[in-house]
Structure formats: C-alpha cells, structure tokens
Amino acid sequence: MPLPLLFIGVAAASSLFGVSKTAQAVSTNSAAKKIDQIANTAVEEAKNKLNLQRTEVSDSLTALGQEKLFVLNNSVHGFLESFNRIKNVDFTNSVGLEELKNLNVVQEDLKELKELGEFAVEVAGGTAAGIAGGAATALAAWGGVTSLAAASTGTAISTLSGAAATNATLAFFGGGSLAAGGLGVSGGIVVLGSLVAGPALAVMGLVVGVKTDEKLDKALANKAQSDEIVESLNTASMQCAAIRRRAYMFYTLMAHLDSYMLPLVWQMETILAEEGDDYRQYKPESQKVIAQAAQTAVTLKSVLDTPILTEDGELTEQSAKVSGLIADKLYKN
C-alpha cells in the first residue's frame, strides 16, 4: 500500500522541519539573550570602574584644596607675618651675597600671596564650612584663584561653590554614583574634556513579542551601542586617572615645599628676636635665610596659583610645566 506510506513520509518530514525551525528559534533567542547579557555586563563593569575613579579623583582634589588652605594658614601665614615686620628689605643690595642680587622675588607675587593668605585666614576664622560642597575641589582644580581671594571671603567661597556645582567636570566629581544617576549634570555621559549627550547608560533588554530574528538584530544593535558607551566610560576613567596623578603630584609638591618653608619661618622669627627688624643690619647668613624664605614663598605661590584643569576638564599644560620645573629644582637640592 504505497499511497498511505507516502502520506506518512510527508507528515514525518513536515514534523521534522517544524522541530528544526523550533530548535533554530530557541537557539537564536538564546543567542540574542546572551548578547544582551554580555552588553549589559560590559556597561556595568565600565560604570563601576568609572565610579571608583570618580571617587578617587574627588578625594584627591579635595585633599589638594585642603592642603592649599593648610599651607596658607600655617607656613605662608607665618612667613608673611614675619616678613612684613622686616624693614628695608632689598636683595639687590645684599653686600657680599652676589647670589641674592639675581634672586627672582617679585613684589607683586608677595602682594598676591598676602591676599591669598588673608583669604585663607578668614576661611579658617569661621566660614570653613563654606568650602564644603565642591569649593575645595574647585580651589584645587583652578589654582589659587587670586582674583577671588581679593574679594570678600563670603563672595569668594560662594563663587567657588557655585563654580563647582555648575561646571560639568567638577559637578561630576561631586555627584552621586552613575548607577544612581549622579552625573552631576542632567543627561549624558561625562567624558572629561566634553559633555556627551549620548545614549542611556543601561542597555535595553529584549522586547517581548518581537519576532525571533528581530530579537537577534536588536541584541546586536544593543551590543554595538554598549560598545560605544563602554568606550566613552573607559575614556573618562583614563582621564580621571591622569587627573588624580596630577593632583597627587601637586599635593606632594605642596607638602615638600611646606616642609622646607617651616624651618625658614622659625629661623626668621629667631632673627627678628635677636637682630631686630632692619634687614640692612642683619648678618649675611640671616639675610640669606630671609631671601630663601621669600623665594620659597614665591615658589609656593606658583603651585597655589597653577590650575590643574581647564573649565572643560582637560589637564592644563601649565600644570605639567610647573610641576616638572619645581620637582627638578627640589630634587636637585
């Protein structure tokens, strides 16, 4: 009976074809889910890495800002108090001390340092709470802010706080985690140096009810999108690491200069107590101490004033040059 057998064969073949299509659909759906999972995992890992870097940069900039205020309130303040009591200071007429005649101490630098010192003293005198919320970060990132120091303390601190809150880069460092949506600015991924209004941080999952082939296409599209997001986040992480290193370098320079400055300030106090306040009557060794203290104060001012970041979040060339020059000078001595 050949005819029934033929029908059975066709039915069996159709059944096998259906099973094959079902298996293929299951396999495609599984592949799509796996691609989506890989995409989301990659974004999550990059996000966590950037959150860690963001926290470390925030801590390093805050520490640098606080170190600046500490140095201004201690060694710089002590130097200014003693130096301002000394009369007839003229390094160019230091008899028998030829090396002092070429000393590069500019009076304008000392004047601006005095303004910075007064700014720091007033901050410590009762409005230190004003440096919270990113102002210390702004002080570290943008240098001594001499122009602000010349204004009233309240205005200066308020301006620093406001700048930190509205600048995308500094707001990013002061904001919450990326997982909590804390970019410090609304919408977009912060890639330091620019603000990219890019795609959402979470890669979308598969859409229920979409055809199997379309699910795979969508998963592949999600993977391409996640690759772009991961690249942006990793770029930001690398820039964060560079900023943290620069902030640490400046912190180290400040601490090194401060450790050199304090003994000179103590010697100045002794000189004032034992030799009076007329520079012309000082012993050559004492004149040299005063000159060294003044030169160190000017060097400190250059570190205090030098901005680490531009307002767009890029590392400044000036900070690289200044840190390199001062480090060479310090470590040669």
**pLDDT > 50? residue 188:** no
Average pLDDT (263-286) is 94
The whole domain housing 153 covers: 2-332
Beta bridge partners of 195: 190
More confident residue, 14 or 123: 123
Give the separation between CA 92 and CA 88, rounded to whole angstroms: 11
Distances (CA, A) of 206 to 29, 36, 179, 218: 9, 7, 21, 7
Provide the pLDDT for residue 195: 47
pLDDT-derived band at 330, boundaries 50, 70, 90: low
> Any residues with CB less than 8 A from the CB of 92 and at least 6 apart, and which?
100, 101
Provide the pLDDT for residue 150: 52
pLDDT, tens digit, 9 for 90 and up, residues 84-105: 899 988 877 654 455 554 555 6
Beta bridge partners of 315: 309
Average pLDDT (283-300) is 89
Provide the pLDDT for residue 7: 37
Tokens representing 181 are 């949506």
pLDDT-derived band at 237, boundaries 50, 70, 90: confident
8 A C-beta contact, residue 142 and residue 173: no
More confident residue, 174 or 266: 266
pLDDT-derived band at 205, boundaries 50, 70, 90: very low
* Nearest Cα to Cα of residue 49 among 200, 182, 183, 178: 178
8 A C-beta contact, residue 164 and residue 170: yes
Average pLDDT (259-270) is 95
Number of domains observed in the structure of the chain: 1
More confident residue, 182 or 226: 226
More confident residue, 53 or 121: 53
Average pLDDT (126-153) is 60
pLDDT > 90: percent of the chain: 15
**pLDDT > 90? residue 265:** yes
Tokens representing 201 are 């941080």
CB count in 10 Å sphere of residue 290: 24
DSSP state of 276: -
* Nearest Cα to Cα of residue 62 among 149, 131, 151, 145: 131
Task: Enumerate the H helices of the chain as residue ranges.
Answer: 2-71, 77-83, 98-101, 107-124, 135-141, 146-149, 153-166, 168-174, 212-275, 284-305, 317-332
Provide the pLDDT for residue 276: 94
pLDDT, tens digit, 9 for 90 and up, residues 30-42: 888 888 888 888 8
More confident residue, 73 or 11: 73
Provide the CA 62 distance to its chain's centre, in angstroms.
9
pLDDT, tens digit, 9 for 90 and up, residues 310-328: 877 788 888 888 877 766 6
Mean pLDDT check: name the lowest of 31-40, 103-112, 278-287.
103-112
pLDDT-derived band at 295, boundaries 50, 70, 90: confident
Give the separation between CA 135 and CA 280, rounded to whole angstroms: 43
Provide the pLDDT for residue 26: 62
In the predicted model, what is the mean pLDDT of the chain? 73
**pLDDT > 60? residue 201:** no
pLDDT, tens digit, 9 for 90 and up, residues 156-177: 666 666 666 667 777 777 655 5
